[in-house]
Chains A and B, each alone.
Chain A
Amino acid sequence: MRYAIVGNGVAGINAANTLRHRDESASISLVSSERDHFFSRTALMYVACGQLSEACVEPYERDYYEKMGFTRVRERASGIDAANHQLIFDSGNRLEYDRLLLACGSVAVAPPWPGSDIGGVGHFVTWDDLTWLRREMTQAKRAVVVGGGLIGIEVCEVLIQAGIETHFLIREKKFWPIALSAAESDVVVPHMKHHGCHVHLGTEMAEAVATNGRLSSVRLSDGSQLDCDLLVVAIGVRPQTDWLRETGIALDDRGGIIVDDQLKTNLRDVYAAGDCSSVVWFNGVQRPEQLWYTSRDQGVVAGHNMVGDAREYRRGTFYNSAKFFDIEYTTAGLVNFHVEGEVDWWQHEPGTYYTTRITYLPAENNRVIGFNGLGRRWDHSILVQWIEERRTLEWMLRHLGEANFDEEFMPRFAATVPVEGGR
């Protein structure tokens, strides 16, 4: 069997591992023009700030591809000849496959305002972006970061520790509205400011202004102007599927490759996994899910299906984690999903940035549907289990200590807010 995989990211490599595990003699080709070695994209910020070296973010040792018998193809794919089972490259070369996996990930969303192609403006998604940012950081004095999400805040942290004056523009009135409540944002935003980040809530970009072809300032939607020499645009990512538009593959309205529950696309013997694939969510919506965890799981499932194991991809209950400067964040289940009748139980431990929010449904005997925690560490797998077991808020508050994952000697968690005290 000849397997070809476009993309050497977490979805691609996990599919390759699974294929090798299931088929010792298969020929497995990994196509990527980004980098020779699989690296952890989630750790880009740590390389940028010097906490990790480039080699540190490679999860496998350098001889891994050889050991596993993976063939590297350093090409950019530009199309698929599905009828002839061939992958077409920019260079004109072709690669024959029996099964093809598209694990081509995401690209940064380009900004809608003028002036995005001038020097000093960029994104933070790819390895090239990392190289670019590190170069810019050696000279930058004043930087603007646009986009109130996870990549944005990571870039802010990197810039601030490099001693660069950093302005963080967030369109909404709070930070990361898709996941945080106003009260949680009110914990995170002062923390960012405490670290020296200039946070501008409710502020939109209007234009990047160049002088002699290089960024000199940005104009904001309220007309004011902010001088700067570096602009990082982090307003989201979208599936990297522009090169597939002519192939007849079915894409959703976000550009995600539509797959069935075995991650098959509409083209014969072509599968898709990771950031670029569009799966059906628990609520019936078809869309991509751009997370490390889901990409990894999809890669494994796709690998199994490619050898004929017939595995279903089941998303399961949502969980995620992140870090906002010093504040760790854990979530499980449905928070900020605006489920009808939902109520929040909320506790902010005085003098700390530790907060706990539990979303529950009073109409269903206080059944818990979601959890958001800042500061403390939580074992999301236990929380997920409780949510799936349809535990009540009262039960959960009594047992919450068991799901705590803080390091030893930390003051223990105690629920002090009464159940009716929730908002």
Chain B
Amino acid sequence: MQSGLMNTFQSGIKTRNWAAWAIAIALFAFYILIYFDYALGILGPVAERLGMGIWTLYGLMYTIAMIIGGIYFLHKHGNSRYHQVRTIVVVLVQIIFAFSIPLVMEIFDSKGFILSLFWPLKIEYFYPQNIFTYPLTLVLYAFLSFVIGVPLLTYFYGKRWYCSWVCGCGGLAETAGDPFRHLSDRKAKAWKFEQWSIHLVMFAAFATTAMVIINWSLHHTSPDGQWITQYPLFDSIATTVQKGYQTVVVAMLSGVIGVGLYPLMGTRVWCRFFCPLAAILGIIQKLGRFRITVKPDMCISCGNCSTYCEMGIDVRQYAQNNQSFKRAACVGCGMCAHVCPRGVLRLENKADLRESADKERRPIVDM
């Protein structure tokens, strides 16, 4: 199938020229203004003048970027059925679940809740002081979806059901980020770094959540109505850790760096190196059914798959060795299979890996 990717390496903006740097700097600046508005107070007033909160303004811009990016993506890759279905779903999820429903909830004076986000990507969903401000159904939803829904879906369909079909971070990467997907580092070194960094953040998410929960349970309401604890030292440590996680992981890694580095290091820096939910999904994916099947002996080692894998997976290495594979990082975007000029790769949800065909080939002499 035509991949719509010819000319990629002749385009300066797609190969880290000055314009790419300029976009990166602009994105950095924008994300700093968003996430640190509480201190800077620059974008907040602008949003207010437009009649909305800063996060609504951000959500609106994000959704528009995904819609325009989705149209661009379908223009380039829309000859693939998988891409058609996946792109429409991920953009609709953003419009309906991530943007409209929370907005409507807020209009009706309740707190907005994004049904398409789960702990620990949305770490507050397990912070008691936050989640218990929602109705019981949503509390149950947040808990049960993580404990039952997410693992089951991932076991049967791989992490792709979330990372490239539902998630907003992945959604932006797959749409507006498409021009930069080939910039991910596919060297073995990057893979090593990824294994450390993503599990470190996952650990940080568990630890932070645990501390917040413990700290909350050590609090009680005093007779005069104060929310107090007998362990002020632990309280201050837990609060600092919670703030630190918010600043470092949520603001810096998922926002500023995650999106800011699009034009320089590809679109999945956050998803690949840092996202704690992706780390958990990756572990389940390794145990689950989803894999990429390699058609034996047909790979011409061209490198299209490795180049356009936004997770920096060196797919060619598997393909030329006739190895069907499961990789924790694979978000099942389907691009490797789509761009392969020899149709070597296929995304499948099957019970077991196919044996690599090492059988002797018998000639058909009798013609």
Q: Which residues of A contact B (CB under 8 A)?
A: 10, 40, 42-43, 46, 49-53, 56-59, 61, 161, 282-283, 292-293, 314-317, 319, 321, 323, 325-326, 328, 330, 333-334, 337, 339, 369, 377-381, 384, 387-388, 405, 407-410
In the assembled complex, the Cα of A408 lies from the Cα of B290 at a distance in Å of: 13
Contact: B81 with A410, CB < 8 Å? Answer: yes
Known interface pairs A52-B9, A405-B346; A387-B1 also in contact (CB < 8 Å): no
Contact: A409 with B302, CB < 8 Å? Answer: no
Interface residues of B in 251-296 (CB under 8 A from A): 295-296
Contact: A388 with B302, CB < 8 Å? Answer: no
Residue from A10, A51, A326, A410 with most neighbouring chain B CB atoms (10 Å): A51
Contact: B337 with A51, CB < 8 Å? Answer: no
The 5 closest A-B pairs by CB, nearest first: A316-B361, A43-B302, A377-B343, A409-B81, A50-B10
Contact: B307 with A59, CB < 8 Å? Answer: no
Contact: A330 with B303, CB < 8 Å? Answer: no
Q: How close is B303's CB to chain A, nearest CB, in angstroms?
A: 4
Q: Is B300 part of the contact surface with A, judged by Cβ < 8 Å?
A: yes
Q: Which residues of B contact A410 (CB under 8 A)?
A: 81
Known: A42-B301, A42-B302, A314-B362. 10 other contacts (CB 8 A): A46-B341, A50-B10, A56-B306, A58-B303, A282-B365, A321-B343, A377-B343, A388-B364, A407-B81, A407-B82
Interface residues of B in 1-51 (CB under 8 A from A): 1-3, 5-11, 15
Q: Which residues of B contact A325 (CB under 8 A)?
A: 2
Q: How close is A392's CB to chain B, nearest CB, in angstroms?
A: 15
Contact: B341 with A323, CB < 8 Å? Answer: yes
12 A-B pairs (CB sep. < 8 Å): A40-B303, A42-B301, A46-B303, A50-B7, A292-B300, A325-B2, A334-B367, A380-B298, A405-B343, A407-B81, A407-B82, A408-B334
Contact: A409 with B84, CB < 8 Å? Answer: yes
Known interface pairs A408-B347, A409-B82; A51-B367 also in contact (CB < 8 Å): no
Q: Is B187 part of the contact surface with A, judged by Cβ < 8 Å?
A: yes
Q: Which residues of A contact B338 (CB under 8 A)?
A: 407
The secondary structure that dominates the A interface is loop
Partner of A326, one of B79, B81, B82, B187: B79
In the assembled complex, the Cα of A293 lies from the Cα of B11 at a distance in Å of: 33
| A323 closest partner in B (C-beta) | B341
Residue-wise interface mask of B (296-318) relative to A, using a CB-CB cutoff of 8 A (1 in contact, 0 not): 11101111101100000000110
In the assembled complex, the Cα of A407 lies from the Cα of B347 at a distance in Å of: 7
Q: Which residues of A contact B5 (CB under 8 A)?
A: 51
Q: How close is B37's CB to chain A, nearest CB, in angstroms?
A: 39
Q: Which residues of B contact A46 (CB under 8 A)?
A: 302-304, 341
Q: Is B197 part of the contact surface with A, judged by Cβ < 8 Å?
A: no
In the assembled complex, the Cα of A242 lies from the Cα of B159 at a distance in Å of: 55
In the assembled complex, the Cα of A378 lies from the Cα of B344 at a distance in Å of: 9
In the assembled complex, the Cα of A283 lies from the Cα of B307 at a distance in Å of: 40
Contact: A314 with B367, CB < 8 Å? Answer: no
In the assembled complex, the Cα of A10 lies from the Cα of B357 at a distance in Å of: 20
Known interface pairs A388-B362, A407-B338; A321-B298 also in contact (CB < 8 Å): yes
Known interface pairs A328-B1, A409-B84; A293-B298 also in contact (CB < 8 Å): yes
